Amino acid sequence: MPGLPNGLNRYAHICGWGTAVPDTILTNSELSRMVDTDDEWIVARTGIKQRYIANGKETTASLGVEAAKAALDTADISPNDLDLIIVATSTPEHNFPSTASLIQDELGASKAGAFDMGAACTGFVYALSVAGQIIQSGAINTVLVIGSETLSKIVNWEDRSTCVLFGDGAGAFVLQGSEVPGGILTSVLRSDGSGGDLLKVPAGGSALPASYDTLRDNLHTITMNGREVFRFATRVMADACREVVSAAGMTMDDIDFIVPHQANARIIEAAARNLNLPLDMFIMNMDRYGNTSAASIPLALCEAVADNRIKPHNNLVFVAFGGGLTWGATLVTWGVSKSTSPHQVWHKLRRQALYRVARIRSAVRRSTRMIEGALWGGEEMDDN
Ligand code: COA
């Protein structure tokens, strides 16, 4: 196996993985009772048959926490072992605090830093690349990377050209440093902001803050030029795959599977043709999930691992594109099989106890802050 192009000899392995989806499924035929569309059109143009939709209580953070707990179980590590949490999302819980900080609190990951990564549907590839390089540098050892989305909350449910595409869900990886070669090898990250208008949520930021007018004009929902995004996606996917493979000193013959962003089956078919690769090398599950943006790659990967398609030492290319415009790819050698420690059951019970303690600790901290604020907050301000 080739070493890392950056000359470092510390590797970042994916040693835990997990997913979460909402309880509710929305099928194409149910959608066709909401907007002027039909199952035949959606399947033929996108490959999507159904998607998961979050209810009022299911949020980007709650799905992210569920996926993170599953990933910590697979890795069989404690939340206290985490050095950093990165959440890739376009549907954060709030502008701030970051969704990553809320998840850190819920997990009780008391030694972890936390931040959100905003690169739309390419967010998971960006986050994976950043996490891998921080670990390879030796700065920290254990990173939780989460892609979590509740796109149903920013979809215009009256726009048939976009509402049929998106779904909700979350996926998470635990990355750990090791001297054993493998894990994240190379990445390609790109952006072309001149195409920012092709796919965006126009209002709610500093350019167009929320107002009565923005609400009336439905500017807090996704707008998209589907044809242009389609053209862009088919062009960049194949290029990014070639670039990331060549940066590792490999050829496409060395690659076992491509795990692409699950936007549209036709985009993936076009990339397969362009790369001259058989379609069965591409992991696809958008038929059941739709486009879950930053969550789509871990959701696809976890299914392929669960059904034993992906084996240790397989070389995988994660490739994505999305709003920004952004695109990117990461080459990974899948090196660590699922932990089989005889103490795993006890470790899981311990983790569950830690999650309960984390909730209590968080509630106590909030109450303490309130009481301190009521008793001394004014005095301290007066002193200043
Ligand atoms: N049901 C039925 N008809 C629909 C429809 C729907 N849900 N959505 C659009 N149509 C109609 C259009 O109104 C148009 O009708 P017209 O010819 O009478 O004007 C016709 O279908 C063709 O529309 P068009 O936009 O050219 O379709 P398309 O083949 O480009 O497919 C997308 C539309 C959105 C599926 C496709 O452009 C796409 O997938 N683009 C990429 C989107 C994407 O991946 N975004 C996320 C990136 S991360």
pLDDT for 247-279, tens place per residue?
A: 999 999 999 999 999 999 999 999 999 999 999
Q: Is 322 in the pocket of ligand 1 (CB under 6 A)?
A: yes
* Integer Cα distance of 144 and 82 in angstroms: 7
Buried b (16+ CB within 10 A) or exposed e, 139-172: ebbbbbbbbbbbbbbebbeeebebbbbbbbbbbb
Could you give the count of Cα atoms lying within 13 Å of 354 in the half-sphere of its Cβ? 20
Q: Tens digit of pLDDT for each residue in 13-31?
A: 999 999 999 999 999 999 9
Q: Whose CA is nearest to atom 36 of ligand 1?
A: 226
Asked, for residue 379, whether it belongs to a domain, the answer is no
298 inside domain: yes
Atom of ligand 1 at shortest range from CA of 38: 1
d(CA 178, CA 336): 11
Q: Is 163 assigned a catalytic role?
A: no
pLDDT confidence tier of residue 7, bands split at 50, 70 and 90? low
Choose the weakest-confidence range: 177-186, 294-303, 330-339, 367-376: 330-339
Does the residue 95 lie in any domain?
yes
Mean pLDDT of 146-162: 97
Among 13, 28, 121, 163, which one carries the catalytic annotation?
121
pLDDT at 194 over 80: yes
Residue 17 belongs to a domain with what CATH number? 3.40.47.10
Q: Which atom of ligand 1 is nearest to the CA of 46?
A: 35
Ligand 1, residue 162: give the atom nearest the CA: 34
| Average pLDDT taken over every residue of the chain | 94
Report yes or no on 367 lying in a domain: no
* Any domain includes 262: yes
| Residue-wise pLDDT tens digits, 340-379 | 677 888 999 999 999 999 999 999 999 999 998 888 876 6
351 located within any domain = no
* 121 catalytic residue (yes or no): yes
Note the pLDDT of residue 296: 98
Domain count, the chain: 1
What residue's CA is closest to ligand 1, atom 38? 226
pLDDT digits (tens, 9 = 90+) for 70-121: 999 999 999 999 999 999 999 999 999 999 999 999 999 999 999 999 999 9
Q: Does residue 375 lie in a domain region?
A: no
**pTM of this structure:** 0.94
As a 3-state breakdown, the chain gives helix, strand, coil percent values, each rounded to 5, of: 45, 20, 35
**What distance in angstroms lies between residue 290's CA and the mean position of ligand 1's atoms?**
14
Domain of residue 176, residue span? 11-333
